[in-house]
Structure 1
């Protein structure tokens, strides 16, 4: 399925349809959609750029390490959203960002991923997206290919220190918790993700699939996931995995 062409509309999932969970970044989308958004938010004003440069020696370093990554990212989110006071304010800016960057965002949707996504929906599976990005962002990008009706579970944001920040991050074990709290209590039949941060989700799935992993993480995935777990590349040229043709 080509991201330049609208996808067909789908019937509701079957009542007994298996639960299938897709991560978004580096799974359906080539890159980190949240980082791309917050770079755009920072670049709106010269003083935000300057402030981001000033905090980079400390908070940029924190992003490189998993235990401190969320704190580092939160600092740059704060810089990009100073002056916003409601989640709706951020949603409005997300809509502006998506409209202004439509061609670039469309090009980052991975055709192989969209084919797999389409096949699950055609089969009547219960398909959801669970992402560390704001859910409004993933919904808006998926709307380019007529998948905006797919439920998206993502990081919840709200007012923090004169800006907008994460109040509940859809990350690691919390991602599975938030999926269950959203009412999806059936077994997870299949989960697709690139990230070691999604190990709880992949381990919870009956049939996990690793897509577009970092090369240095492949051996870890082979050790901790069931034997024979597919490790695929859906088109991220800087990532590992067995290539899958469109």
Structure 2
């Protein structure tokens, strides 16, 4: 099984710090859409055959979601369909093209308020990390394109049977697993996320912020934490 090579551009930082002041989720928090799902749609639409295959499998994927089958495997199915037969160079080129389209607002955009907070935290030399379920090779490109130099924990992909699959899904409890495996202290001053799936990280933060969440999401997180959590709307 061959590991998918990441972008040839320099890595964002040379190694992880032991402690972080601020941790951000990415999709729905700093970024308006599910970036990796948008990328997969973008790649699938490059081929009528791939698009048709995805549509034919859609009922199965919906059933898997309903019965709470692991998101890692559902995502891997779509990822494999979208990339089987493509070379690493082709996938890298598609990722570059996708990122370039973000400038015009295609496929989503950064929340201005969140981006300002992130840039301010970086410029003030606070230790910042982004933890996301999206693929590392894609998020690296998005961040570099924005000139953001920040530590990144993300899902990892590799090749199997000619296409890409998800090796490590950085989602839910796996975000905590990422911290542990990389020797990162499991507590930080602030955490920002839009999703109750990040409850394991909400529990580790001194101050937590729900971004553009619903009242239902806020209530669910507060019940679990047994404390009030600030709800913020970012544009």
Question: TM-score scaled to structure 2, two decimals?
Answer: 0.83
Q: Which runs of 5+ in 2 are unaligned?
A: 1-16
SS in structure 1 of the partner of residue 105 of structure 2: helix
Shift of 1:198: 1.0
SS in structure 2 of the partner of residue 158 of structure 1: strand
Native 8 Å contact 1:29 1:108 kept in 2: yes
Distance 1:58 1:106 in 2: 25
1:28 aligns with 2:43: no
Shift of 1:165: 0.7
| 234 and 193 in structure 1: CA distance in 2 versus 1, 3 angstrom threshold | same
SS in structure 2 of the partner of residue 154 of structure 1: strand
Distance 1:143 1:156 in 2: 18
Q: Which 4+ residue blocks in structure 1 deviate beyond 4 angstroms? A: 15-18, 64-67
Moved more, 180-189 or 170-179: 180-189
What's the Cα RMSD here?
Answer: 2.5
Partner of 1:203: 203
1:118 aligns with 2:119: yes
Bigger relative contact order, structure 1 or 2 (CA pairs below 8 A, ≥6 apart):
2
Distance 2:92 2:181 in 1: 23
Partner of 1:164: 164
Partner of 1:139: 140
Q: Which runs of 5+ in 1 are unaligned?
A: 1-14, 236-246
Partner of 1:127: 128
1:53-132 equivalences in 2 (<5 Å):
53-63=55-65, 66-84=68-86, 90-104=91-105, 108-132=109-133
The number of aligned residues is 219
| 107 and 171 in structure 1: CA distance in 2 versus 1, 3 angstrom threshold | closer
Moved more, 76-85 or 28-37: 76-85
SS in structure 2 of the partner of residue 133 of structure 1: strand
Partner of 1:45: 47
Distance 1:122 1:105 in 2: 28
Shift of 1:223: 1.0
Partner of 1:212: 212
